[in-house]
Chains A and B, each alone.
Chain A
C-alpha cells in the first residue's frame, strides 16, 4: 500500500484514503462547441500511458475530499511529488534530480 501526501492536509497517509483520478493536466476546453470531432475525441480518450514519471490526479476521497495532482513513476510506483490542483505543472528534470538524491543508500 502506497503512502500518499495530500497537499491540502499536508499529511502523508495510506493509499486507502485516496482514489485515483486519471491523467492530470487535461483541461476541459473552454468552448467545447468550437472543437472538431477529432479534438474532442482526443480530449475524451487519448492518454499518454507513460512508462516512467506520470502526471496524474488523485482525490483525498476519505479525507478532505480535494482533488490534487501527483507525479508518480509507473515503473517503481514511487511518488516524485504531489501538488495542489491549481499549481503549475512541475519541471520533471528538477523532480528527477531531487529524487535521485533521495534514493535509498546501497
Chain B
C-alpha cells in the first residue's frame, strides 16, 4: 500500500503504531494521529458523502472547522457518536469509525443521483417543490423530507458515560494557546495573576506546531514551545488542552467543554468522558487565530482538494504528505509556503496558480529556485476526477478576460482564499465588528465585556506579530486588574507573514450557471444558489442565509460565511458592511448533550421530595405518582388489584370505617406577629378578625387580578399566630407572593412568615371511626364533637409527641389531621396503623383522596381552576368577606369582564347513561349536530367513578353553567358523543351530616 507518511517528520510518534478501522477496513496510523491524518497517510482521501448531492468528499481542513470528513465513531456498547470530525478524533488501538450519508457504500452511493439532478435542488428547493398538491404532503413530501433530513445516524442506546461539571474562578482566561495566547499567558502570569490557558487541540502551540521552520530568539520553534510551556507551568498557569470554549456569556462567564477520554484506548473505569467548566474570569483574552477560506470555483470540492494551510499542518504536525502531485491555487502568500514545505518533503508541485497578477517577488524567486512553475494572474475554472481529483483546469486572466484553458494533472489541489479572524466568541458577547477594506474581512470593533483580542483575531499575521501582540494584551489585562506585567519581545526568524486578496467566485470562461462552485461544503450551498436567492428577492443576509442554508450546518459557516457574504454583496451591488453579517451563537463546535447535562441525569435529573412516611408506603406496596417535585403514594393495591379496584376499595373502606392518608406534602406557612390578623385580612378573601383562636376556616387566595391562586384550611392558634396550609404544589409560590406584598406593599405590618412545610408530618384520618381511633392517643384535650367541633385546631400531646390537631375534612367524613414534628411522622403513622387494625384502617393514596373530595365537590386549585376562574365562577362566593375594605383581588372582582354574563362556571356533570366516565379535558358542546368546528362551551375538569354515588361523576367548567342546572350538554369523543346533564357539584351527603358525628 502507498504510504504518504514522511519518516521522522511531525509530532506523531513514529515508533508507536496504532491500528483502527474505517468502514470495516483496518488501517495503521501513529500515536498522535487524528483519523483524518492517519487515513491520508494511507492514501485515503474519500471520507464522506455530502449532505444534499451525496458528492464524494475528503477533508478540507485539519482542525475543528472541518465541514466534510464527518464520521461515526464507536467506542464500545452504547458509545456510538455520529458527526465526529475525523480531523479532531485522535486514534487509538481498536477505534471503530464509519463514513456517513452513503448507501450501499462510500465508493458507490445511490444517493449520488441527486448530484446529476442538481438543477432541481437549487436554493429554496424544498419551499418550491413540496407545495402542491396539498394531498401529497402527508403521504409523500413529509416522509421524503424526514428521510432526507439529518446528518449521520442518531445513537440508539442510552449513553453509558458520565459527564462532569465544575466551576472555575480565574483572573485571566486565555482562549487559544498559539503564539498570541502563550505570550498573553506569560505576561499576565508575570504580573502575579491566576491565569488559565485553554486550547481545543490535543496539545498547545497553535501555529507553532505547523511551522517548525520558525526560530524564536534563536531557538527552533518546537524547542522554544516546550521551554515556554515549562516556564508557564512554573508560573502556575493552568493549561487545559482538548478544551473548547464553546460559549461566551454575560459578565465574562465562559463555558468550556473539556474532552477527557475520547482519545484514550482504555479510559479509567467510571472516568467522566467530558467535563463542562463554567468559568468566571476577571479578564478574557481571545487568541483564537484565524481560519483559512477556500476559493470558490467549479469542482472545488473533490476529494484531494484541501486548504493549503491544512496541508501544511498535515505535513509538519502529523508527518503526512497529502499527495504526490499537487497544484496550489491561491490568492494569498500563505499557500506558497505550504507548496515549499511539501516540495521539500518530496511532493511534486505541478504549479502554483496565483490569482494575483504580481505576487510577492521573493516568493516567485523561491519558487523559481525550486523549479516550481508559477502561473500568476490565473484563475481556476474546473476540476476532474470522481473519487479523487485528477486534474485542475486553469486559465490566464488578462484585462478581465479569461483566456484559453489548460489542464494540469494532480492528485491534490491546495487552495487558499485568505484568512478570516476567528471572532465567534467575540460575537457571542455582542461585540461589534467592523469591515476592514484592506484585509477584506471583519475585525473586532466595540468591545462589550472585559476582554482583549490578540493576534490573528484582530488581523495580525505572522508569529512575531502574534507573540508581541499577545504580550501587549496580556499586559493590558494585567493593567485592567491593577497589576503590571513585564513583556518580553521575541525575535522570530523564518516567520511567514503574508498578504492576499479576497474574491467572490473566481472568473471563468464557462457557463457560471453550470458551475458546481461550493461555498458551504457541509450544506452543499453553491455560489449559484446565493445569487439565485438574491434574484428571487432576498435582500438581508439573514434571509439569504436561511433561504440557501449557507452557514447553517454544524460548522456554523466557519469556512463559508465570508465567501457567502462577498458573493451576496456582489449580487446585491452593495458593500459587505451594508449587507451585514449573520450572528454566531454558542456552541463554537458541536457539543454533546451529556456535557450540558453533566450530573443532572437519571435519579439526579431533578430533586425527588419524599415525606417521612414515604418509606412506609414503599414497604407496603404503594404505587407512586409525582406531584410537583414530591413523590406521593397514589394507591395501595392489594394482591391482584388494578388501580381502579384498589381505589374503589380505599374509597369504600374509608367511608365505611376509617382511612389514613399521608398529607405531609401540604404546604404550611406560619404567620406570626401583632399584625398577623390584619395581614390575613389583606391576603385572603375571607374575614379573619372574628375567627377565634382554636378555630379554623377555609381560606381562598386570589391574585390582584381576581383569579384563584390557592386555597387551604387555616387555623388560628392565638391572637397573633396562624397556621396556613396551602396546596402541595403552591407552597413556594404562595410564600413568595405573601413576602412580596409584605415587603413591598405593607412594610409597616409587623408580621413574620416562615415556611414550615417540612417541619411537620401530617396524617389525615377520615371516616366514622376517626375519633374512636385517636381519642386514646390525645392528652390534655377534649375532642368530643361538642368540645372540639368541625373546623377546630388545638395544640396537644398526641401519642407522646407534641402535636397540632386539626378537626377538618377533605372527604366529607368525620376527619382529623395530626401534625407532629417531621421526625416522628413515621413512628406516629405506624402507631395509628397498628391501633387502627380493629377498625380495618385503610391507608389510601392521592387518587382516593381525589375521588372522595370530588364526591363532595371540593375543588383542586390548578385542576378545577386554571388561572381564569374567580371565586364566583368556582361557586365559592361564600368565602368572600364582602364587608372588608380590601383584600388582594377584591377590586378586580368588580371589573366588567369578571362580572360579565357567560363566564365559565364550575358545575357537576352526570352522564345520561349512568355508566360512561367522561375524560378529563374533554370539550363540551350544546349542539352535537352543528358543523365542525363546533362551538365549545367548556371542558371536563375532574372525572371519576364514584362508588358512593353509584355512578361516574364529573366536574366541569361550562359557560353560564350556574344557570344551566338540569340542561343537557354533549361531549363529542372520537368514537361517539356522550350526553350529560348539568348538576350541582355535591354528589354525596349534601347536608354534611357525616361531618357531625
User: Which A residues have a C-beta under 8 Å from some C-beta of B?
Assistant: 1-3, 19, 21, 27-28, 31-33, 35, 37, 40-41, 43-44, 57, 59, 61, 65-67, 76-78, 85-86, 104-106
Report whether A85 and B896 are in contact in the complex, using a CB–CB cutoff of 8 Å. no
In the assembled complex, the Cα of A77 lies from the Cα of B429 at a distance in Å of: 11
In the assembled complex, the Cα of A105 lies from the Cα of B283 at a distance in Å of: 12
Name which residue of chain A comes closest to B251, CB basis.
A3
List 11 extra interface pairs beyond A3-B251, A76-B430, A76-B448, CB under 8 A: A2-B250, A35-B891, A40-B895, A43-B704, A44-B705, A65-B739, A66-B743, A85-B743, A85-B744, A85-B747, A86-B747
Report whether A44 and B892 are in contact in the complex, using a CB–CB cutoff of 8 Å. yes
Report whether A2 and B251 are in contact in the complex, using a CB–CB cutoff of 8 Å. yes
Q: Which 6 A-B pairs have the closest CB atoms?
A: A32-B891, A67-B743, A28-B745, A3-B251, A104-B447, A2-B250
B740 is an interface residue with CB less than 8 A from chain A = yes
Residues of chain B within 8 A (CB-CB) of A59 are 736, 739-740
B262 is an interface residue with CB less than 8 A from chain A = no
Report whether A104 and B448 are in contact in the complex, using a CB–CB cutoff of 8 Å. yes
In the assembled complex, the Cα of A57 lies from the Cα of B682 at a distance in Å of: 22
Q: Which of B249, B250, B704, B894 has the most CB of A within 10 A?
A: B250
Name which residue of chain B comes closest to A26, CB basis.
B744
Name which residue of chain B comes closest to A35, CB basis.
B891
Whole-angstrom distance between the Cβ of A101 and the nearest chain B Cβ: 14
Residues of chain B within 8 A (CB-CB) of A2 are 250-251
User: Which B residues have a C-beta under 8 Å from some C-beta of A?
Assistant: 249-251, 253, 278, 280, 430, 446-451, 476, 480, 704-705, 736, 739-741, 743-745, 747, 885-886, 890-892, 894-896
| CB contact under 8 A between A21 and B251, given known A40-B891, A40-B895, A104-B451 | no
Q: Describe A's contact surface by its main secondary structure.
A: loop
Residues of chain B within 8 A (CB-CB) of A41 are 895
| CB contact under 8 A between A1 and B886, given known A28-B745, A104-B450 | no
Residues of chain A within 8 A (CB-CB) of B448 are 76, 104
In the assembled complex, the Cα of A105 lies from the Cα of B431 at a distance in Å of: 12
Whole-angstrom distance between the Cβ of A105 and the nearest chain B Cβ: 7
Name which residue of chain B comes closest to A32, CB basis.
B891
| CB contact under 8 A between A27 and B447, given known A32-B891, A40-B892, A44-B705 | no
Residues of chain A within 8 A (CB-CB) of B251 are 1-3
Report whether A104 and B250 are in contact in the complex, using a CB–CB cutoff of 8 Å. no
Partner of B891, one of A1, A19, A33, A85: A33
Residues of chain B within 8 A (CB-CB) of A78 are 250
Whole-angstrom distance between the Cβ of A85 and the nearest chain B Cβ: 5
Name which residue of chain A comes closest to B446, CB basis.
A106
Report whether B446 and A44 are in contact in the complex, using a CB–CB cutoff of 8 Å. no
In the assembled complex, the Cα of A71 lies from the Cα of B935 at a distance in Å of: 47
Whole-angstrom distance between the Cβ of A78 and the nearest chain B Cβ: 8
In the assembled complex, the Cα of A1 lies from the Cα of B894 at a distance in Å of: 42
| CB contact under 8 A between A44 and B704, given known A2-B250, A77-B250 | yes
Report whether A1 and B249 are in contact in the complex, using a CB–CB cutoff of 8 Å. yes
Residues of chain A within 8 A (CB-CB) of B449 are 104
In the assembled complex, the Cα of A7 lies from the Cα of B744 at a distance in Å of: 15
Whole-angstrom distance between the Cβ of A89 and the nearest chain B Cβ: 14
In the assembled complex, the Cα of A61 lies from the Cα of B732 at a distance in Å of: 10
Whole-angstrom distance between the Cβ of A95 and the nearest chain B Cβ: 18
Report whether A37 and B890 are in contact in the complex, using a CB–CB cutoff of 8 Å. no
- Provide 24 A-B residue pairs closer than 8 Å at the C-beta atoms, listed in order of the A residue: A1-B249, A1-B251, A3-B251, A19-B736, A28-B741, A32-B891, A33-B885, A40-B892, A40-B895, A41-B895, A43-B704, A44-B892, A57-B744, A67-B740, A67-B744, A76-B430, A78-B250, A85-B744, A104-B447, A104-B449, A104-B450, A104-B451, A105-B480, A106-B446
Residues of chain A within 8 A (CB-CB) of B892 are 40, 44
In the assembled complex, the Cα of A105 lies from the Cα of B253 at a distance in Å of: 18
Name which residue of chain B comes closest to A39, CB basis.
B891
In the assembled complex, the Cα of A15 lies from the Cα of B605 at a distance in Å of: 21
Residues of chain A within 8 A (CB-CB) of B886 are 31-33
In the assembled complex, the Cα of A40 lies from the Cα of B895 at a distance in Å of: 8
Report whether A21 and B743 are in contact in the complex, using a CB–CB cutoff of 8 Å. no
Partner of B745, one of A19, A27, A37, A44: A27
Whole-angstrom distance between the Cβ of A9 and the nearest chain B Cβ: 15
Residues of chain B within 8 A (CB-CB) of A76 are 430, 448
Whole-angstrom distance between the Cβ of A14 and the nearest chain B Cβ: 8
Name which residue of chain B comes closest to A27, CB basis.
B745
Residues of chain A within 8 A (CB-CB) of B430 are 76
Name which residue of chain A comes closest to B888, CB basis.
A28
Residues of chain B within 8 A (CB-CB) of A57 are 744
Whole-angstrom distance between the Cβ of A88 and the nearest chain B Cβ: 14
Q: Which of A3, A76, A104, A105 has the most CB of B within 10 A?
A: A104
Residues of chain B within 8 A (CB-CB) of A86 are 747
Whole-angstrom distance between the Cβ of A5 and the nearest chain B Cβ: 11
In the assembled complex, the Cα of A35 lies from the Cα of B747 at a distance in Å of: 22
Residues of chain B within 8 A (CB-CB) of A44 are 704-705, 892
In the assembled complex, the Cα of A61 lies from the Cα of B736 at a distance in Å of: 8
Name which residue of chain B comes closest to A43, CB basis.
B704
Residues of chain B within 8 A (CB-CB) of A27 are 745
Whole-angstrom distance between the Cβ of B732 and the nearest chain A Cβ: 9
Residues of chain A within 8 A (CB-CB) of B447 are 104-106
| CB contact under 8 A between A32 and B743, given known A59-B736, A105-B480 | no
In the assembled complex, the Cα of A40 lies from the Cα of B891 at a distance in Å of: 8
Name which residue of chain A comes closest to B895, CB basis.
A37
Report whether A1 and B250 are in contact in the complex, using a CB–CB cutoff of 8 Å. yes
In the assembled complex, the Cα of A35 lies from the Cα of B886 at a distance in Å of: 12
In the assembled complex, the Cα of A20 lies from the Cα of B886 at a distance in Å of: 27
